[in-house]
Structure 1
Amino acid sequence: MIGNRITYRTADGVRIPGTWRHAFIRNGSYFLTDLFIYADGLIDCWGLVTIEEFEEKLRSGWVATTLPDGAEASAHDLAYWRFSEPRSWLTPELLVAEVRDTIDQLNGRPDSTGRCLAAVDTFLADRTEENRAAARLAFLAIPASQRRYALGDMDSKDGPLRVLVAGPGGRTYLPIDPTVTQEAYDRALAYFEERAHWRAERQAHVSADGPAAPHAPAVHLYHSHPNKPVPDPGLLGLRNDYPAPITVGKVSYPSVAHAYWALSVAQPEVGVTVATADTAAAGRKIAAGAPRREGWEQARTAVMTSLLRAKYDQHPELAEILLATDDATVIYDDVDSAFWGDNAGRGRNWTGRLLELVRSELHMRRTTIPGL
């Protein structure tokens, strides 16, 4: 299960989401390490492998599920020990099944639990023995370590599900469970009827504040060096170095980038040189060789916010381009700054975030909100 363990790797400039879990790798001795699982189906077990290659790693013992008594083990830079009466709950088959489920989860596809619950819904809608058998097979296809969590109910765990798919007179997969009685089966049916009721209520619930995720596709503002305005700039017009003159106070700047770098320097005469540079890239180069204004690092995001507001206030045609991105996540590339740019997931994307803020302010002006 993914939980809150979210990571990613970058491949060809694209972020591939992933997660991780602990595992032992046997390379001479045993090493406690992290097994990274990615949405594209690759697994990093000290080298990226496909799911089929991962199964071979398990068969060879490179990824270990059996821990022999007396074997040496370590966690890098943390501890070293020998196994004494070790017990492992994993088998190669179980670990592969869990990894396959994780890949499905990372891709937003139904995993084995999702497929089981879909089969259960089919049975509840049409209670034939054929549908019950299909639901039972789907339930047993869930990795044994995950079955108790299938219903998401930590009080009942998978009890009602075990009984439902076994049916009256049947036996569950747990040897300690008694034969299913009609009374126990009726309780399981009542459980699922109640569960269907609260699921319907939850699905009908609408967040008072709207969706948490954007519904518009992400917008990527790739790094570029626009040196002159064009009749229909499109997303290029949202770049900070796009030639869209802004006036801040009594000073006019050729672009947001010119203004930002001119305001960043401590010496006024250098600021004038930056502001009049032929291109934003040239202005940045001049500013990079001069001392920063005191407190600039702490003030820079507020300064950039003010400059972006000025740009879209003074250029309504560019404001329309920004508004047309709706509620999309704005991914801004800046090869010179991991602070301002996303840079294939390695940067903080502050420019993208501030563009989203200014866009929201522009939307607010078109909405009647008393007092604002």
Structure 2
Amino acid sequence: MIGRRITYRIADGVRIPGTWRHAFIRNGGYFLTDLFIYADGLIDCWGLVTIEEFEEKLRTGWVATTLPDGAGASAHNLAGWKFSEPQSWLTPQLLIAEVRDTIDQLNKRPDSTGRALAAVDVFLADRSEENRAAAEAAFLAVPASQRRYALGDMDSKDWPLRVLVAGPGRRTYLPGDPPVSQEDHDRALAYFEERAHWRREYDTRVPADGPETPHAPAIQLYQSYPNKPVADPGHRGLRNDYPAPITIGEVLHPSVAHAYWALSVARTEVSSAITAADTAAAARELAAAAPRREGWEHIRTAVMTGLLRAKYDEHPELAEILLATDDATLIYDDMESAFWGDNAGRGRNWTGRLLELVRSELHLRRNGIPGL
């Protein structure tokens, strides 16, 4: 299970999501480390390998599931010890099955549990012996470590599943279970009928506060270097360096970027020179060479919010472009700043976030609550 263990790596500028789990690497001694698993199917076990290569690492014991009594082990820069009566819960077959499930989960594909539950649904719709056998095979393909929680029911565990797929008079996969009685099988059927009812209700549930995720695809606001306004700027018009003059106080600035850098510096004469700069890039260079205003890092997001509000207030045609992005996530490229830009997943994307805030305020103004 991925849970909250979310990470990523960058490959050719693309962010590859991943997760990690603990594992032992055998390289002379045994080393407790993290096994990183990525959505593209690569696994980092002290080197990136394919899933097939990872199976070979398991076969040779490089990734260890057997821990010999008395063997030395360590966790880098943390501790060293020797095993005493070790017990391992993993086998190579179980670990590879769990890793394959994790890759499916990272790609939002049905994992072995999802495939088993889909096979059960087929059996419930047509209770033939063929469909029962297929559901049982799919359930037994779920790693043993995951079967008990396949239903996500901490009370019943997998009891309804193992009884249902076994069928009356047959035995479940657990050696201690008695043969399935007709009464138990009927109880399992009733469990799944009730579960289907609750699933239908959940699937048709409308969140009280509206959609939880955007329905519009994300929009990348790529780096650009516009020199003059154009009749139809498209998403380029949402860039801070797009030439859309705004008035702050009594000063007219050629763009949001000009205004931001002019307000960032401590000296008035430098601020005036920044405002007069030919381009936003030149304005930034002037600001970079001058001292920042005291406490700038604490107020810069508030300043940018005010500048963006001014831009879209003073340029209704650009406000329409921003509103037309619907509820899309706005990903802002800014190769000069990992604070303001997303930068292939390595930045904080504050410009994109503030644009979404201003967009929401524009929607509020158009279709909002009286008094706000």
TM range (shorter): over 0.9
Opposite residue 276 of structure 2, the aligned amino acid is T
User: Secondary structure at 2:145's aligned position in 1?
Assistant: coil
Q: Does 1:191 align with 2:200?
A: no
Deviations 1:31-69 (A, max 9, x none): 111111111111111111111111111111111111111
Aligned to 1:128: 128
Opposite residue 180 of structure 1, the aligned amino acid is V
Deviations 1:287-310 (A, max 9, x none): 111111112111100000000011
1:217 CA drift (Å): 0.9
Aligned to 1:2: 2
Distance (Å, rounded) in 2 between the aligned partners of 1:229 and 1:77: 57
Aligned to 1:26: 26
Aligned to 2:358: 358
Q: How does 1:67-82 map to 2 (within 5 A)?
A: 67-82=67-82
Opposite residue 318 of structure 2, the aligned amino acid is L
Deviations 1:318-356 (A, max 9, x none): 111111111111111111111111111111110010011
1:272 CA drift (Å): 0.2
1:198 CA drift (Å): 1.3
Distance (Å, rounded) in 2 between the aligned partners of 1:161 and 1:365: 53
136-145 vs 64-73, which deviates more? 64-73
1:227 CA drift (Å): 2.1
1:368 CA drift (Å): 3.9
Aligned to 1:181: 181
User: Secondary structure at 1:160's aligned position in 2?
Assistant: helix
Opposite residue 273 of structure 2, the aligned amino acid is T
Opposite residue 145 of structure 2, the aligned amino acid is S
Q: How does 1:292-331 map to 2 (within 5 A)?
A: 292-331=292-331
Distance (Å, rounded) in 1 between the aligned partners of 2:41 and 2:181: 43
Distance (Å, rounded) in 2 between the aligned partners of 1:360 and 1:370: 15
1:239 CA drift (Å): 0.8
User: Secondary structure at 1:149's aligned position in 2?
Assistant: coil
Opposite residue 275 of structure 2, the aligned amino acid is A
* Pairs aligned (count): 372
TM-score, structure 1 length as denominator? 0.98
Distance (Å, rounded) in 2 between the aligned partners of 1:6 and 1:230: 42
Deviations 1:259-292 (A, max 9, x none): 0000000111110001101111111111111111
Aligned to 2:206: 206
Distance (Å, rounded) in 1 between the aligned partners of 2:53 and 2:223: 38
Q: Does 1:149 align with 2:149?
A: yes
Distance (Å, rounded) in 2 between the aligned partners of 1:111 and 1:305: 43
Distance (Å, rounded) in 1 between the aligned partners of 2:168 and 2:69: 44
Distance (Å, rounded) in 2 between the aligned partners of 1:342 and 1:131: 49
Q: Does 1:260 align with 2:260?
A: yes
338-347 vs 227-236, which deviates more? 227-236
Distance (Å, rounded) in 2 between the aligned partners of 1:211 and 1:35: 35
361-370 vs 271-280, which deviates more? 361-370
Q: Which consecutive segments of 4 or more residues in structure 1 shift more than 4 A? A: none
Opposite residue 96 of structure 2, the aligned amino acid is V
Unaligned segments of structure 1, at least 5 residues:
none
341-350 vs 221-230, which deviates more? 221-230
Q: Percent identity?
A: 82
User: Secondary structure at 1:135's aligned position in 2?
Assistant: helix
User: Secondary structure at 1:145's aligned position in 2?
Assistant: helix
